[in-house]
Amino acid sequence: MTTPRTPAAPAQPERTPLAAQPHPARSAAAAGDSRTPAQIRAAVDPGRWPGVAHVPTCSRAHRAVARRILEAALRRLPLHTRFPDGRRLGTGGPVLEIRDPDAFLRRVGTSGTIGFGESYMAGEWDAPDLVGVLTVIADHAATLVPGPLQRLRRLWAPGQPAAGRNTPAASRENIGRHYDLSNDLFGLFLDETLSYSSAVFRGFPAEWSLLTAAQHRKIDRVLDLAGVTEGTRVLEIGTGWGELSLRAARRGAEVVSVTLSVEQAQLARERVREADLSDRVEIRVEDYRSVEGTYDAVVSVEMIEAVGAEFWGTYFATLDRLTAPGGRVALQAITMPHDRLVASRRTYTWIQKYIFPGGLLPSTEVVRRLTAENTRLDVARADRYGPHYAETLRLWRERFTERAADVDALGFDETFRRMWVLYLAYSEAGFRSGYLDVQQFLLAPRPDTATPADTRPKDVPQ
């Protein structure tokens, strides 16, 4: 089992509380935890979680600016923000409890969303309705920081580290940091299909007992878009734990599936053998860029998010190269608003540091533009399922929380659990607010594809 790796920790700074907020709260908002944030931080493993165990240094001027911006935002947000000195901010709504205001300001003032997430991991803020609070924040993401500071983002927000580039060598490392954590861990909160992407439900609210059928419904829609039937030669980019490959093979297709996750490949191969489908499914540990041949159908479910903006053009050019004349491509992709993508694509975020290193969500505009510029295909169809992802994530989050003791037994500590709950809640909030969406795209041949597209990949415009 591997554990999250983070940059080296700064030295422990001398703490100087801000005026009018001298004492951290004495109880956690959500779970009745009587420990102070300082006590929670003291229990954090500094070797494993240096960014959480230590509160960063932050100049008085920097803290003052951060305080003005944060308090101005909290005053106008539909939240009920509580401070340990009794102050209240907000227009009313879900409760956000700032338990250690000084540490919270130091972190957010120093590293933006990374600090916001690390502050939660350290117990410095909490919320009885975590998804509710994060949904409000997602609803107002574009206006939380004043316009002039948005334009100066490069000066105050941490930039992307060079190690985050998804070169062929770095991609395996980035993928491994998430998907090779532990098959047993993912098995604790996923359904029996081990599908780690949005399901498609018949109605809401969703129930756990319906998740397996909803995951099969999602997979069947992808396979139908790609026209997968008896004898279809299918390439899957991003194996997961093999459920799509198994379902395609049961239709009579011949499947090659590639992944960079050694753990996923190992279990997917076991599942293929157990299903007696080894003659129809081949699982490879291989970068999508090195795959050779052509296929009648290319399918890829929520893999483009791990490609990185630098290589989006290469990804679409590779889809084109691997698709046989007359073939189809079916993608499922999480998307974000294009203006937010342009504003934030060079910013290093908490999700990238702790959950998906090297990852970045595309916009619908990016998918359409790069398809046109790098392939002989057109986006013939795009179906949106954002609310379905919110419900999928809710079910995963509830299951993960219920099985906290089992997570502990696998060797994952309390800091990891808080990180993972925040990741699932943060993602769910993105879909509930509409800030994020998930779509199934059909890329079909253009009428005028007698000559191949220019094979030089084009990146997303600035």
**Ordered DSSP codes for 164-177:** G---HHHHHHHHHH
Angle at 249 between CA 243 and CA 255, to 5 degrees: 90
Q: What is the pLDDT of residue 5?
A: 36
Same domain for 257 and 140? no
Same domain for 100 and 188? no
Q: Is residue 23 part of a domain?
A: no
Rounded-to-integer distance, Cα 291 and Cα 435, Å: 34
Same domain for 222 and 352? yes
Q: Hey, is 323 helix, strand or coil? A: strand
CB distance 69 to 149 below 8 Å: yes
The domain spanning residue 259 has which CATH number?
3.40.50.150
State the CB neighbour count (10 A cutoff) for residue 234: 27
Same domain for 420 and 275? yes
CB distance 346 to 160 below 8 Å: yes
Domain boundary among 156, 177, 196: 156
Same domain for 230 and 357? yes
Q: What is the pLDDT of residue 64?
A: 85
Domain boundary among 127, 156, 185: 156
Q: Is residue 334 part of a domain?
A: yes
CB distance 460 to 369 below 8 Å: yes
Same domain for 281 and 138? no
Same domain for 256 and 132? no
Rounded-to-integer distance, Cα 421 and Cα 120, Å: 10
Matching residue, tokens 């998740």: 211
Same domain for 220 and 304? yes
Q: What is the pLDDT of residue 169?
A: 85
Which tokens hold the place of 30?
Answer: 């959500």
Report phi then psi at 183, rounded to 5: -60, -35
Rounded-to-integer distance, Cα 240 and Cα 392, Å: 16
Q: What is the pLDDT of residue 77?
A: 96
Domain that holds residue 139: 37-156
Q: Is residue 32 part of a domain?
A: no
Same domain for 221 and 97? no
Parts of the chain with a pLDDT under 50: 1-30, 450-462
Q: At what angle do helices 101-121 and 414-433 cross, to 10 degrees?
A: 90
Q: What share of the chain is helix, strand, coil (3-state, %, to 5)?
A: 45, 15, 40
Q: Is residue 1 part of a domain?
A: no
Q: Is residue 393 part of a domain?
A: yes
Q: What is the pLDDT of residue 127?
A: 98
Q: Is residue 348 part of a domain?
A: yes
Domain count, the chain: 2
Q: Is residue 458 part of a domain?
A: no
Is the peptide bond prior to 205 cis by the omega test (within 30 degrees of 0)?
A: yes
Q: What is the pLDDT of residue 27?
A: 36
Which tokens hold the place of 379?
Answer: 């986006």
Q: Is residue 387 part of a domain?
A: yes
Same domain for 198 and 94? no
Q: Are strands 281-285 and 295-301 parallel, antiparallel or unpaired?
A: unpaired
Same domain for 319 and 413? yes
Same domain for 193 and 312? yes
